[in-house]
Amino acid sequence: MNEIINVIKRRRSIRKFKTEQITDLEMQEILKSALLAPNAMNRQKLHFTVIQNKDLLDKMVKRIKENMLESRIGLLIDKASAPDYNTFYNAPTVILISGEEKAPFIQIDCGAAAQNITLASESLNIGSCLITSSGYLFSTFRDNDLKKELGIPAGYSHICTVALGYKTGEDPPTPPRNPDVVNHIK
Higher pLDDT, 141 or 114: 114
| Count: domains in the chain | 1
Sign of CA dihedral 74, 80, 86, 87: positive
Domain that holds residue 102: 10-169
On whether residue 184 sits in a domain, the answer given is no
The average pLDDT across 166-174 equals: 87
On whether residue 183 sits in a domain, the answer given is no
On whether residue 129 sits in a domain, the answer given is yes
Higher pLDDT, 170 or 129: 129
CA distance 105 to 33: 19
On whether residue 153 sits in a domain, the answer given is yes
DSSP letter assigned to residue 140? S
* In the predicted structure, residue 146 carries a pLDDT above the cut 90: no
Q: Tell me what percent of the residues of the chain surpass a pLDDT of 90.
A: 83
On whether residue 118 sits in a domain, the answer given is yes
On whether residue 161 sits in a domain, the answer given is yes
On whether residue 4 sits in a domain, the answer given is no
Other beta carbons within 10 Å of 120: 21
On whether residue 71 sits in a domain, the answer given is yes
CA distance 107 to 5: 24
Sign of CA dihedral 1, 177, 17, 60: positive
* In the predicted structure, residue 144 carries a pLDDT above the cut 80: no
How many angstroms separate the Cα of 1 from the Cα of each of 4, 7, 41, 118? Answer: 9, 10, 32, 20
* In the predicted structure, residue 139 carries a pLDDT above the cut 90: no
> What pTM was computed for the model?
0.94
The average pLDDT across 8-21 equals: 95
Looking at residue 1, what is its pLDDT? Answer: 74
Q: How confident is the model at residue 68 (pLDDT cuts 50, 70, 90)?
A: very high
- Answer yes or no: are the C-beta atoms of 49 and 156 closer than 8 Å: no
Q: What order of strands is seen across the sheet that includes strand 156-166?
A: 46-51, 93-100, 156-166, 126-131
CATH code for the domain in which residue 53 is found: 3.40.109.10
Looking at residue 25, what is its pLDDT? Answer: 98
